Each structure stands twice: as C-alpha cells, then as structure tokens.
Amino acid sequence: MVPAILLGTVLLHVLPLLGFLASRHAHTRLRRAGPRRPVLGAEELTPLELGMLAGGLQRLGEVALAELYLGGRVIARGHGAVARPDPEPSAAARLIRTLSPPARVMADRLRPKRSMCAEELVNTAARSDQATVVLWRLRRLGLFFPPQRMRGVRRVRCAAVGLHTVLGVAAAVLGPGLLVFGMRPSSGPEGIWSVLCAGLLLTYPFHLHLSRRAVGALSGPVLCGAVAAGTALAAVPSPRVAPVALALYAGWFTVHGAYRATGGRLGPRTLAGDALLAEAHRAAPAGGPTAALRSTALLGFRSLRRQAGEADPPELRELALVRSFAAAVGRGFGRPDGGLGGDFSGDGGSGIWRGDGDPTTAARNRPR
C-alpha cells in the first residue's frame, strides 16, 4: 500500500512539472515568432504605457499614484495607507496640474479626512477602462500579444498551476494532521516532543500567517506544513508515513522551483516589448515630473523605497520626492506577491495580469 501511495504522489508531481516545461517551451516559440523590433522609440511611450509594459497593471497603478502625489492630491499615512491632504495645496504649488485619466479615477475615490489602502486605490485604477485603453494600445503596437495568441499557453499553464496548488494545500494540511499523530502521551525525553507538537499545533494559524507574509502565498504554508510534519515524525517515527511525507514536500518544492525557473506566470510581452524596455532602461535620468514618473514606471515603488536614502542632484528633485513618498507609504505597498500567479518573470513577464493577458470585460466589447 505504501509503495502505491508513494508512486501516486510522485506521478502527481510529474504532471504539473511537465505542464510547466511544455508551457514555457510553447511560450518561447510564440515569442520567437512574434514581433522582434519595436515600431517606435521608448520616449514615445507615456509613463503609464511604460509602467504597463514594465510591470503590468500593478505598475501602471503605482505610476498613477506617484502622479497623484506630485499633483498634490494625496499624502502618505504609512503602513500602506494614503489620504487626501487637508488642506490641499494651491495650484501653483502642484508639480503636475493636469492628471491622466487613471489618476483622476484614483482621485475620485479619495475622501477628505479618511485614509485609504494604497493597494485598493491602485487596483481601482488598474481595473478601470482607462487602463484597458493603455493595454490595447500596447497590443496594437506589437509590444503585447493579443489574448487569443496566449490562450493555448495559458490553458496548459493554468492546469499545471491548479494541480500544483491542490498538492500545496494538501501539504499544508498534512502538517497539522501529523502533529495530532505526534501528540501521544509518553514519559521520559520523548515527552518533550509531544509537548512541542501540542504547542506547534496551537500556534499553527499564527505560523501560517507569518510564513505566508515572509515566504509567499502558498510556498509559505507548505514550508510551515513541512516543519510541522518533520516535528511530528521526530516525535513518533513512522517508516510508513515518512517516505510519503518526504515525497510530498520534496516533490512540491522541486516543482515550485521549476515553476519559478520557467518564468513564473508567463506574461504577454513580446521580444519587441523587451527591446523597448531595455532602451528605456539605458536612457540617462532626467529632471522634471515626467522623468520622475518614467523612473517610477521602470523601477516600481519597491525599488524606489530601497533607494530612498540615496542623495540625488538638484535637477532630480521630483524623483527624490517620489522616493520619499514610496518610503513613507510603507513596506505594505508595492511588494509583488511571491505566491503562485503573482511573480514578475524576467522573460516577458507581467504583474497581476488577469488570465495571463486576457482582457477585461470592457476590453472584450471594445471594437478593433
């Protein structure tokens, strides 16, 4: 019975592994067959379009939030919260006087004397029709693949991710189950392991929360389950359960490493989009609000927050202001999800693309 369960566990891990490898191979062939050279220069893209190209919908929202800050419409409250300034600065004191449509959508959500989660504010702009306009322009320029070109890759990838997620949930649940098995009363030195299993079981939800924040949305709980299973098997050794648990956890992390190595959540950016993005990165930093927004589009709030303590020349005053704003908002914002479906791939990757590049409902009804 044990060999059959062990073989089934291994085979269940092989299926998503093959799916990740096959989808990455198909994605690579698709990119090679797509546009290779951009039809315009990087300077012809707006900061919002550059943000969409570099980091998807999340980055576009971060650019709109930075624009809102330079326009004097928002201030940081810390811990991932922002609010409308009270009183608002005069028009002469605003570095940006005319807001883009996504920034106006965000400004309409802010209420006087009330803080709001920056992530929620960014999602408001990222899911708006104005963001869809930016997305479709990048598709028409050949910088993103249309959703129908990505459909086959997406289906294989999503099926593999789904099975991998189910195995991860099973691995996270197995840990506390084995802790119950390891809480057998015993005397002598073995009793310490029983007390340890009981304490770990009582605090297991807290450890799940910490591991999810520190490691990832799913990889953290699986790691927590692996520690719990190891503690339980150390308390009550079981030659039947140990090989199955080892195969489950070792296989899951091996497949998850393959998921990361094959590009994470494969995005719709073409080779032409990569070339245009590389051109934008090679451009020398310049002063002014627009240049600060372009730097935000390329780097994102997380990288800007790391650079908050660096000294900038006087001509980069606006960029220094955005860096200080990113640091003031806090670490709770601008951090990419490390779990399944939220990775930033270095090879044509994206941020929080819905369905690996599928348009929103408004985009599906938009005439070509």
User: Among the residues of the chain, which ranges form H helices?
Assistant: 2-33, 47-70, 101-109, 118-126, 129-140, 147-181, 190-202, 204-214, 219-235, 241-261, 271-282, 289-306, 317-329, 361-364
Task: Please report whether residue 89 resides in a domain.
Answer: yes
pLDDT confidence of residue 241: 87
Phi–psi pair at 117, nearest 5 degrees: -65, 125
Residue 186: predicted pLDDT: 60
Choosing from 226, 261, 296, the residue where a domain stops is 261
Per-residue pLDDT tens for 132-164? Answer: 899 899 999 999 998 888 889 989 999 999 999
- Which letter does DSSP use for residue 295 in this model? H
Q: Do 126 and 200 fall within a single domain?
A: no
Total domains present in the chain? 2
Q: What pLDDT sits at residue 190? A: 63
Q: Are residues 187 and 215 in the same domain?
A: yes
State whether 208 and 308 are in the same domain: no
Decide if 342 is inside a domain: no
Quote the pLDDT of residue 161.
93
Q: Which residues contact 120 (CB under 8 A, 6 or more apart)?
A: none
Question: Does residue 15 belong to any structural domain of this protein?
Answer: yes
The whole domain housing 215 covers: 2-21+162-261
Same domain (yes/no): 250, 275:
no
In a domain, 364, yes or no: no
| Rounded alpha-carbon distances, angstroms, from residue 186 to 197, 207, 233 | 12, 26, 15
pLDDT at 98: 87
Are both 272 and 140 inside the same structural domain?
Answer: yes
Residues 315 and 297 in one domain: yes
Query: Are residues 257 and 272 located together in one domain of the fold?
Result: no
Q: Return d(Cα 1, Cα 12) in angstroms, integer.
A: 17
Shared domain check, 312 and 257: no
DSSP 39: S
Residue 137 domain flag: yes
Q: Is residue 243 part of a domain?
A: yes
298 and 218 both lie in a single domain: no
**Whole-structure pTM value:** 0.79
pLDDT, tens digit, 9 for 90 and up, residues 250-284 = 999 999 999 988 888 888 899 999 999 999 999 87
**42 and 138, same domain (yes or no):** yes
Intervals of the chain under pLDDT 70 = 185-191, 309, 311-312, 314, 331-368
| 190: amino acid identity, one letter | E
pLDDT value, residue 271: 92
Can you give the pLDDT at residue 349? 36
What is the pLDDT at residue 193?
Answer: 76
**171 and 307, same domain (yes or no):** no
Residue 346 lies in a domain: no
344 domain-assigned: no
Query: Do 17 and 55 reside in the same domain of the chain?
Result: no
The whole-number pLDDT of residue 354 equals 40
Question: Residue 62: how many CB atoms within 10 A of its CB?
Answer: 30
